[in-house]
């Protein structure tokens, strides 16, 4: 049993990690840190975990085999600088702090560099939009088929904004509403370009949706092949990826919410290829992907503890 610690466990991604890991067969939660909730039962904050765990939040770091960092962006660097983490402790950071693979961190997109993750001790978990968009484009990039600019229109649920309230996350503003934000400048663009290795422009329009969780990204770019060639390219590329599936019909967000899956739907039309990509922003886009990376780092089956059921309806 691997001993697990979570820093920043009171937030959305920390809560999702707890929900997954309390049911993971090969881990033991021992160190659940939260400055704001220290001393409280975990189930007092994540109330759906009543009956699943009797652990309490703490402020004190104890030795663990794997440490997940779920605090806000910029906080991971501060935490690591302020704490002496043993060299053998594996670290998985869910913030943006190390996605440029600085300070010995490896970018944790398993479908991109599984072997590198398996031998790593420090993982930078990808961003949620980045995960959805990268999975849509990786087969094209690997085949050298991104020859022109890429256009992306993607929408995310309100949990993508984190737990802290802002004017655009209040129910009264978000409900029955849709808006764009950070047009062409979203922070995930840097890691997307780094992963795809393309110098072509990626024109990204992110939307805020009036739902809680999930991402749909619609990605299109010029393509000279046929529908059949595109489908074979994607099927071959993801043949050994347990969480990415090519759909024969148009996809929707509810198919993947509460799972670590990504569903892709391809359409080739008049010299363009459109890839629709759907994920759960909190699971495949954050905490589930972090557990996937932990499994790989520890030499376990990639999908261990991640055979989750979608909400369906």
Nearest to 275 by CA among 286, 264, 284, 283: 264
Q: Which H helix or E strand runs over 173? A: helix 171-174
**How far apart are the C-alpha atoms of 220 and 134, rounded to whole Å?**
12
**How far apart are the C-alpha atoms of 148 and 210, rounded to whole Å?**
32
Joined tokens for residue 25: 């067969």
Q: Which H helix or E strand runs over 274? A: strand 272-279
The answer to whether residues 138 and 193 touch, using CB atoms and an 8 Å cutoff, is no
**How far apart are the C-alpha atoms of 211 and 87, rounded to whole Å?**
41
Q: Annotated catalytic, 128? A: yes
Of 31, 70, 128, 262, which is the active-site residue? 128
Q: Which residues contact 167 (CB under 8 A, 6 or more apart)?
A: 173
Q: Please report, for residues 101, 200, 210, 312, the alpha-carbon distance to residue 213 in angstroms, rounded to integers and kept in the order given.
A: 28, 30, 9, 13
Catalytic residue ranges: 128
């Amino acid at each position: 049993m691997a001993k697990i610690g979570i820093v920043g466990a009171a937030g959305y991604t920390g809560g999702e990690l707890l929900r997954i890991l309390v049911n993971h067969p090969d881990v033991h939660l021992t160190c659940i840190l939260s400055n704001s909730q220290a001393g409280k039962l975990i189930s007092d904050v994540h109330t759906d975990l009543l009956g699943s765990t009797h652990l309490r939040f703490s402020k004190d770091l104890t030795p663990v085999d794997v440490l997940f960092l779920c605090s806000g962006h910029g906080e991971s660097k501060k935490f690591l600088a302020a704490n002496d983490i043993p060299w053998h402790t594996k670290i998985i950071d869910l913030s943006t702090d190390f996605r440029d693979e600085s300070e010995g961190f490896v970018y944790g997109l398993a479908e991109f560099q599984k072997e590198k993750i398996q031998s790593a001790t420090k993982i930078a978990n990808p961003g949620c939009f980045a995960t959805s968009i990268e999975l849509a484009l990786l087969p094209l990039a690997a085949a050298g088929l991104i020859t022109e600019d890429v256009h992306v229109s993607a929408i995310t649920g309100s949990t993508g904004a984190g737990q802290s309230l802002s004017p655009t996350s209040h129910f009264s503003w978000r409900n029955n509403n849709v808006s764009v934000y950070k047009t062409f400048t979203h922070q995930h663009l840097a890691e997307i370009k780094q992963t795809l290795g393309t110098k072509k422009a990626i024109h990204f329009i992110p939307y805020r949706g009036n739902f809680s969780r999930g991402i749909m990204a619609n990605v299109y770019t010029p393509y000279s092949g046929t529908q059949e060639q595109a489908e074979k390219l994607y099927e071959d590329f993801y043949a050994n990826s347990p969480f990415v599936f090519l759909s024969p019909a148009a996809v929707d967000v509810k198919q993947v919410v509460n799972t670590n899956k990504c569903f892709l739907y391809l359409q080739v039309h008049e010299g363009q290829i459109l890839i629709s990509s759907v994920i759960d922003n909190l699971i495949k886009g954050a905490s589930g992907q972090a557990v996937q990376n932990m499994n790989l780092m520890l030499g376990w089956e990639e999908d261990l503890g991640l055979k989750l059921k979608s909400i369906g309806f």
